[in-house]
């Protein structure tokens, strides 16, 4: 199974790692130069979270933090909220 969010499908994307050396002209140098470009992966921040599905069952799934923060997924309530005796 690929490392991707089970809700939105976010997965690793590729990009470049650019290595630069030299002093910028505005700082008194002769300018910066690119000395190397290599490929790299941008990985999503996946958390293994126990969520409550719309059907009511509980399941542990890898979910990205964006889905957790936006409220797309609903976490399982671990403990019933505290209630005072005699109050309704």
Ordered by start, the domain boundaries in the chain are 13-70
| Burial of 4 from C-beta contacts in 10 A (0-12 / 13-18 / 19+) | middle
Q: Which CATH class is domain 13-70?
A: mainly beta
* pLDDT one digit per residue (tens) for the chain, 88 residues: 579 999 999 999 999 999 999 999 999 999 999 999 999 999 999 999 999 888 889 999 999 999 999 999 988 888 777 888 886 6
- Of 88, 48, 87, the C-alpha closest to 68 is 48
Residue carrying structure tokens 């399982």: 76
């Amino acid at each position: 199974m690929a490392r991707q969010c089970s809700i939105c499908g976010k997965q690793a994307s590729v990009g470049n790692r650019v290595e630069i050396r030299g002093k910028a002209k505005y700082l008194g140098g002769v300018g910066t130069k690119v000395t190397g470009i290599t490929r790299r992966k941008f990985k999503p921040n996946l958390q293994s979270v126990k969520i409550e599905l719309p059907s009511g069952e509980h399941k542990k799934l890898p979910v990205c933090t964006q889905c957790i923060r936006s409220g797309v997924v609903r976490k399982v309530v671990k403990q019933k909220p505290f209630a005072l005796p005699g109050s309704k």
